[in-house]
């Protein structure tokens, strides 16, 4: 651990009280550390350096976080928080700011560690799948009356699939990666599904779908479960909260939770429709009050599209030299792309069954 990390932490806590700092988690974007502080009721905190390569305006990200957390907590105070729902709590600097800029212009923030909870990379049971759906539905419901105009678009183009397709075209044309069977497969897979990229955005232009506040990255590992009860009690990593189409969120939750082997494979992967049923039943139990008939019409499209979109993003990043997603070995983002494309195929093969599940839930 470098002295610089301790110097940063000392902007949030008295230096003498800092007992330990260590790397934490497996995030692909921000640098994350667990800080232990003596003499505080909640003595563990998450210290993060927000990626300037991903977030051009980290101060916007922190403003969004403050707006969303305050909105949700105020709403829970009125409703009564019977489910013990928890939100990240911002630890301000000793100077009273929500974040710190260091001499290198890096942006740092500290959040209270949510104790007594854990996350998972793969779903362990139908009960857990339903809880994951409930978590996303509850989060959507709690922010459904938050005006999107109050949120910055911290990632312009994020979850707008046609823009990822255009970026892929530019990168593929200039890529110097050596040809291989896997690379040819990915190029062909994308070519045969180019029209798929526009399905949700076209529905938005036609007035069938409209932009609301969304989480942006509600994969399973961003849901916290109470260690004692197994209930979902928090949806974390709110850096991607922004105005968008909720179908991207629903699709991402399904993509993540219904893929048994997880995002790192091995191939082939399979979309589990029984877990899909549990997730959607949980989601609708919380979210039905604000959903429209058209919202339901595009649940399947969201699941198929988000798997394709993520595969497209992984493959583009591989061709570009791994500039967005951290890679532990040279072909990791290519392998991740192959997993998502395999999942896309599994979803396509089960279109009739997935739509039948959606129909059952509606009726």
Does residue 120 belong to any structural domain of this protein? no
Does residue 121 belong to any structural domain of this protein? no
- Residues 217, 250, single domain; the answer is yes
Question: How high does pLDDT run on average in the chain?
Answer: 93
Average pLDDT over residues 70-99: 92
Q: What's the confidence (pLDDT) of residue 56?
A: 83
Half-sphere exposure of 288 (CA within 13 A, CB side): 9
Does residue 75 belong to any structural domain of this protein? yes
Q: CATH number, domain at 91?
A: 3.30.200.20
For residue 271, what is the DSSP state? B
Q: Write the CB contacts of 260 (distance below 8 Å, at least 6 apart in sequence).
A: 122, 123, 269, 270, 272
Please, which pLDDT band fits residue 99 given cuts at 50, 70 and 90? Answer: very high
Average pLDDT over residues 132-145: 97
- Residues 148, 190, single domain; the answer is yes
Last residue of a domain, one of 68, 87, 115: 115
- Residues 62, 137, single domain; the answer is no
CA dist 141 and 283 (Å) reads: 10
Please, which pLDDT band fits residue 26 given cuts at 50, 70 and 90? Answer: low
- Confirm if 34 and 44 have CB atoms less than 8 A apart: yes
- Residues 272, 142, single domain; the answer is yes
Please, which pLDDT band fits residue 155 given cuts at 50, 70 and 90? Answer: confident
Last residue of a domain, one of 58, 82, 115: 115
Q: What is the pLDDT of residues 307-331, one digit of tens each?
A: 999 999 999 999 999 988 888 899 9
User: Exposed e or buried b for every residue in 76-87, given b needs 16+ CB within 10 A?
Assistant: beeeeeebebbb
Neighbours of 24 (CB within 10 A): 16
User: Exposed e or buried b for every residue in 276-312, given b needs 16+ CB within 10 A?
Assistant: bbbbbbbbbebbeeebeeebbbbbbbbbbbbbbbbbb
- Residues 89, 182, single domain; the answer is no
pLDDT-above-70 percentage for the chain: 97
The whole model's pTM is what? 0.90
- Residues 67, 139, single domain; the answer is no
Does residue 193 belong to any structural domain of this protein? yes
- Residues 239, 344, single domain; the answer is yes
- Residues 211, 326, single domain; the answer is yes
Q: Which two tokens stand for residue 165?
A: 């397709």
Q: Distance of alpha carbon 314 from its chain centroid, rounded?
A: 15
Average pLDDT over residues 92-101: 94
Q: What's the confidence (pLDDT) of residue 1?
A: 44
- Residues 132, 53, single domain; the answer is no
Q: Distance of alpha carbon 97 from its chain centroid, rounded?
A: 26
Q: What's the confidence (pLDDT) of residue 28?
A: 59
- Confirm if 137 and 284 have CB atoms less than 8 A apart: yes
Q: Which two tokens stand for residue 343?
A: 């999942």
Q: CATH number, domain at 185?
A: 3.90.1200.10
Average pLDDT over residues 131-157: 95
Does residue 192 belong to any structural domain of this protein? yes
Please state the domain count of the chain: 2
Does residue 290 belong to any structural domain of this protein? yes
Average pLDDT over residues 33-61: 86
- Residues 172, 55, single domain; the answer is no
Does residue 110 belong to any structural domain of this protein? yes
- Residues 224, 330, single domain; the answer is yes
Last residue of a domain, one of 91, 115, 139: 115
Range of the domain at 111: 3-115
Backbone phi, psi, residue 144, to 5°: -65, -25
CA dist 363 and 358 (Å) reads: 9
Q: Write the CB contacts of 265 (distance below 8 Å, at least 6 apart in sequence).
A: 335, 338, 339
- Residues 273, 308, single domain; the answer is yes
Q: What's the confidence (pLDDT) of residue 30?
A: 75
- Confirm if 200 and 247 have CB atoms less than 8 A apart: yes
């Amino acid at each position: 651990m470098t002295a610089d990390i301790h110097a940063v932490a000392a902007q949030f806590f008295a230096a003498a009280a800092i007992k330990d700092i260590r790397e934490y988690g497996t995030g692909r974007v921000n640098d994350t550390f667990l800080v232990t502080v003596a003499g505080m009721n909640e003595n563990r905190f998450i210290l993060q350096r927000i990626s300037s390569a991903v977030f051009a305006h980290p101060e916007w990200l922190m403003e969004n976080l403050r707006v969303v957390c305050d909105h949700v907590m105020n709403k829970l105070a009125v409703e009564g928080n019977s489910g013990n729902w928890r939100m990240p709590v911002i630890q301000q600097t000793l100077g009273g700011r929500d974040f710190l800029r260091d001499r290198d212009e890096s942006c740092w923030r500290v959040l209270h560690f949510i104790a007594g909870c854990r996350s998972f990379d793969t779903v362990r049971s139908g009960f857990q799948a339903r809880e994951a759906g409930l978590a996303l539905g509850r989060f959507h419901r709690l922010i459904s009356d938050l005006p999107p105009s109050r949120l910055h678009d911290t990632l312009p183009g994020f979850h707008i699939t046609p823009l990822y397709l255009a970026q892929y075209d530019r990168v593929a044309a200039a890529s110097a990666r050596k040809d291989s069977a896997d690379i040819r497969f990915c190029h062909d897979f994308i070519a045969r599904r180019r029209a798929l990229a526009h399905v949700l955005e076209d529905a938005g232009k036609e007035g069938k779908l409209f932009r609301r506040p969304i989480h942006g990255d509600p994969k399973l590992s961003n849901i916290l479960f109470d260690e004692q009860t197994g209930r979902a009690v928090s949806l974390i990593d709110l850096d991607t909260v922004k105005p968008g189409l909720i179908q991207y969120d629903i699709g991402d939750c399904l993509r993540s939770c219904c893929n048994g082997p997880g995002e790192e494979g091995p191939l082939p992967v399979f979309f589990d429709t029984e877990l899909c049923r549990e997730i959607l039943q949980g989601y609708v139990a919380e979210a039905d009050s604000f959903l429209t008939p058209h919202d339901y019409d595009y649940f399947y499209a969201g699941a198929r599209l988000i798997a394709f979109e993520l595969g497209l993003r992984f493959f583009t990043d591989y061709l570009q030299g791994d500039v967005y997603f951290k890679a532990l070995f040279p072909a990791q983002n290519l392998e991740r792309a192959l997993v998502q494309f395999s999942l896309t195929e599994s979803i396509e093969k089960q279109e009739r069954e997935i739509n039948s599940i959606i129909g059952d839930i509606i009726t």
